[in-house]
Structure 1
Amino acid sequence: MNPSDSADRLMRELDWNLLRSFVVLAQSRSVTEAAHKLRLTQPSVSTALKRLEDRVGRRLIDRKPGHFELTEAGQVLYREAMDIQGSILRLSTLMREMTDEVTGHVRIALASHVICPLFDQVLAEFHAEHPHATLSIDVLSSAEAVNSVSGRFSSFAVCLVHRRNPKLEYLRIYREFFGLFCGPPHPLFGREGLVRADLAGHSAVSFETDRLQDALKAVTLMRAEADMGELVVGTSSHLEEVRRMIIAGLGIGPLPLHIAKRDVQDGVMWQLPPYQNAPAIDVHIVWNPKASLNRAEQSLLNRLLETVEATPMENRTYS
Structure 2
Amino acid sequence: MIARAPHIDPERLAREMNWNLLRTFVVLAESGSITEAAERLRLKQPSVSVALKKLEDRLGQRLIDRSPGRFALTEAGQLLYGEAVNINGSILRLATLMRDVTPDISGHVRIAVASHVICPLFDEVIGDFYAAHPQASLSIDVITSMDAIAAVAAKRVSFALALVRNQDPNLRYIPMYREVFGLFCGPRHPLFGREDLTLDDLKGHGAVVFDNDRLQDALQDVTLLRARAALAPQVTGVSENLEEVRRMIMSGLGIGPLPKHVVARDLRDGLLWQVPPLEDLPEVDVYLIWNPATVRNRAEDKLLQSLIERLETTPFSDRTYA
| Corresponding residue for residue 43 of structure 2 | 40
Q: Which amino acid aligns with 2:118?
A: I
Q: CA RMSD in A?
A: 2.3
What secondary structure is seen at the aligned counterpart in 2 of 1:284? strand
Contact persistence 1:178–1:255 (CA under 8 A): yes
User: What's the TM-score once normalised by structure 2's chain length?
Assistant: 0.90
Q: Which amino acid aligns with 1:18?
A: L
Contact persistence 1:183–1:249 (CA under 8 A): yes
Structure 1 residue corresponding to 2:52, chosen from 49, 52, 58:
49
Q: Deviations over 1:129-183 (max 9, x none)?
A: 2122222211111111112211212111111112212111100010001111122
What secondary structure is seen at the aligned counterpart in 1 of 2:302? helix
Kindly tell me: are residues 21 and 2 of structure 1, through their superposed partners in 2, closer, same or farther at Cα, counting changes over 3 Å? closer
What secondary structure is seen at the aligned counterpart in 1 of 2:262? helix
Kindly tell me: are residues 148 and 183 of structure 1, through their superposed partners in 2, closer, same or farther at Cα, counting changes over 3 Å? same
The runs of 5 or more residues in structure 1 that have no matched partner are none
Identity, % of aligned positions: 60
Structure 1 residue corresponding to 2:218, chosen from 212, 215, 218:
215
The runs of 5 or more residues in structure 2 that have no matched partner are none
What secondary structure is seen at the aligned counterpart in 1 of 2:233? coil
Contact persistence 1:101–1:295 (CA under 8 A): no
Contact persistence 2:187–2:251 (CA under 8 A): yes
Structure 1 residue corresponding to 2:291, chosen from 255, 280, 288:
288
In the alignment, structure 1 residue 307 sits paired with structure 2 residue 313: no
Structure 1 residue corresponding to 2:239, chosen from 212, 216, 236:
236
| Corresponding residue for residue 189 of structure 1 | 192
Once the 2 structures are TM-superposed, how far is the Cα of residue 5 of structure 1 from its aligned partner? 4.2
Contact persistence 1:101–1:294 (CA under 8 A): no
Q: Deviations over 1:58-104 (max 9, x none)?
A: 44344556654444433332222221111111111111112335222
Task: Report the Cα distance in structure 2 between the residues aligned to 1:203 and 1:36, rounded to whole angstroms.
Answer: 40
In the alignment, structure 1 residue 247 sits paired with structure 2 residue 261: no
In the alignment, structure 1 residue 297 sits paired with structure 2 residue 288: no
| Corresponding residue for residue 25 of structure 2 | 22
Which stretch has the larger CA shift, 76-85 or 58-67?
58-67
| Corresponding residue for residue 262 of structure 2 | 259
Q: Deviations over 1:170-205 (max 9, x none)?
A: 000100011111222222222232222322222222
* Number of corresponding residues: 319
Q: Deviations over 1:246-279 (max 9, x none)?
A: 1122222111011112112211111121111110
Q: Deviations over 1:12-62 (max 9, x none)?
A: 443322222222233234433333322334444344334433433444344
Task: Report the Cα distance in structure 2 between the residues aligned to 1:72 and 1:194, rounded to whole angstroms.
Answer: 55
Q: Which amino acid aligns with 2:79?
A: V
